[in-house]
Amino acid sequence: MKSTAIKELLAKQPIGETVEVNGWVKTFRSNRFIALNDGSTLQNLQCVLDFEKFDESLLKQISTGAALKITGKLVESQGRGQSVEIQSDDVFVHGTADPETYPIQPKKHSLEFLREKAHLRVRTSTFSAVMRVRSALAFAIHSYFQQNGFYYMHAPIITGSDAEGAGEMFRVTTLDPKSPPVDEKGEVDYSQDFFAKETNLTVSGQLEAETYAMGLGKVYTFGPAFRAENSNTSRHLAEFWMIEPEMAFYDLDASMDLAEDFIKQVISYVLENCQEDLAFLEKRLLDEEKSKPQNERSDMALIEKLKFIVDNNFKRVTYTEAIDILKNSKPNKKKKFQFPINEWGADLQSEHERFLVEKHFKCPVILFDYPASIKAFYMRLNEDGKTVRAMDVLFPGIGELVGGSQREERLDVLQQKIKELDIDEKELWWYLDLRRFGTAIHSGFGLGFERLVQFATGMGNIRDVIPYPRSPQNAEF
Ligand code: 4AD
Ligand code: MG
């Protein structure tokens, strides 16, 4: 007999039919009632055991966490809390879970505790809901680009370049770390390394995506990015997933339009397709908020927040306008910004970004035309000579969700910039070739996938929206 997913059984409800399900025991009550979950839905299926058919030795093996195959007739349930249940004829124990040592017991566990059990936490309702939403978002992202004429491009994971020029890279080497070969100057001799040069894990697939956009027209990457930045925050990971669309013949305005439409569409997809999980996550947040003082509670519930994004325009503001607003603002009556903004040219901290989004405009904000000095080398210089065509999409509760720009397409301007920043031009010969052969305006952006999942699920810490978070001093699993 073929087994059926619980989600499908609950949707179709083939009353009277004999069915087979596989799953893990959530709870086992009165030696009779098993709540079984198989991950296909938040809902458990109640399986009722007939005392006479099952002996003591089998019943002893059933406890929270055990994996079972249950066969029986699907009937309407007399009990409260479920519409159907299985009258179990046969129970096969795939594997037991010793109640003395199985950590995921049917009670509320803290997220911190569950982070230490990352290999088992997906069996909880919260994590299963988050991970289903994550999966749906990934699907929606691919669908969006595939339906809009983009090609999926796989950027390399191991690279010889530093796309962001920020030097926050994980080195990839086959040299012996204890005694690497050295050259006559006493420096590590990378010519003896596997690739005969210094290489690292990619921080962004952008530069390679640019080369593909300048041939395929519109491309996107969706892959892991690695950053050895020492940021122990609830928004940073050392390994995260990034979506990077890159479009030939797009200027910054066209790219901002795309970013806004893209984000709205994928959120709309989860609103339609993840209703059960979102409702659960919303309730979870409301319960959590009850313990907070009134003024720290959010004024919108999760689903309302998501709908707000879909239904409202993002506010577009230049960096210069934002600085004027920030200079004349205080985050609240008593407090100043921790890093007050005194002058044009300062980089915005997350407190400023959040002020603009959450207090001032009260909607997502796209900040653009940043000072050249605080942005990466590849961004297109504006006619004013001091700002670049950069944009960041800032989101409530998240801060920066997207970073992007129009790229510098003029060879001489790009070479000049590379020189100013003391970047080795030889390393970027292939990137500069794009400006030598058939150059054209082009633009793109990167969206941090985990930050999007955080926004969609309302999870406060980025470590709780990726299966195995990597952060400083944390790669246990
Ligand atoms: O702003 P970033 O650094 O931009 C780039 O990497 C460009 N090359 C993108 C492009 O134009 N193709 O990163 C883009 C986004 C950020 O806005 C943020 O959402 C996310 O990636 N991000 C991180 N997410 C989690 N942990 C980190 N350490 C992140 N660093 C960036
Ligand atoms: Mg950025």
- Residues 258-270: pLDDT tens digits? 999 999 999 999 9
Note the pLDDT of residue 330.
Answer: 83
Mutate to test the pocket of ligand 1, among 168, 242, 258, 392 (most ligand atoms within 8 A of CB): 242
Ligand 1 near 244 CB (within 6 A):
yes
Q: Where in the chain is the domain with CATH 3.30.930.10?
A: 123-168+203-464
Instruction: Give the separation between CA 214 and CA 442, rounded to whole angstroms.
Output: 8
Distance 113 CA to ligand 2 centre (A): 31
Ligand 1 near 245 CB (within 6 A):
no
Ligand 1 near 444 CB (within 6 A):
yes
> What mean pLDDT do residues 134-159 have?
98
Ligand 1 near 236 CB (within 6 A):
yes
Identify the nearest ligand to the CA of 236 by its number. Answer: 1
Distance 448 CA to ligand 1 centre (A): 6
> What is the per-residue DSSP string for 180-207?
--B-TTSSB-GGGSTTSS-EEE-S-SHH
Q: Which of 175, 172, 207 is nearest to 191 (CA)?
A: 175
Q: At what angle do helices 302-311 and 252-273 cross, to 10 degrees?
A: 140
Instruction: Give the separation between CA 236 and CA 451, rounded to whole angstroms.
Output: 9
Instruction: List the residue whose alpha carbon is closest to atom 27 of ligand 1.
Output: 236
Distance 91 CA to ligand 2 centre (A): 53
Tokens representing residue 192 in the block: 């003896």
Instruction: Give the separation between CA 427 and CA 207, rounded to whole angstroms.
Output: 12
Note the pLDDT of residue 214.
Answer: 98
pLDDT at 52 over 90: no
Q: What is the pTM of this model?
A: 0.97
Range list of H helices, 39-189: 56-61, 111-115, 125-147
Q: What is the pLDDT of residues 408-446, one digit of tens each?
A: 999 999 999 999 999 999 999 999 999 999 999 999 999
Which is higher by pLDDT, 332 or 393?
393
pLDDT at 95 over 90: yes
Instruction: Give the separation between CA 268 and CA 260, rounded to whole angstroms.
Output: 12
Note the pLDDT of residue 375.
Answer: 96
Residue 392 CA: nearest ligand 1 atom is 17
Distance 403 CA to ligand 1 centre (A): 6
Which is higher by pLDDT, 30 or 81?
30
Ligand 1 near 403 CB (within 6 A):
yes
pLDDT at 294 over 90: no
CATH of region 6-106, choose from 2.60.120.700, 1.10.3720.10, 3.40.710.10, 2.40.50.140: 2.40.50.140
Instruction: Give the separation between CA 264 and CA 432, rounded to whole angstroms.
Output: 34
- Superfamily, domain 123-168+203-464: Bira Bifunctional Protein; Domain 2 (3.30.930.10)
Instruction: Give the separation between CA 44 and CA 86, rounded to whole angstroms.
Output: 11
Instruction: Give the separation between CA 401 and CA 406, rounded to whole angstroms.
Output: 17
Q: Where in the chain is the domain with CATH 2.40.50.140?
A: 6-106
> What mean pLDDT do residues 331-351 have?
87
Q: Which of 22, 18, 16 is nearest to 45 (CA)?
A: 22
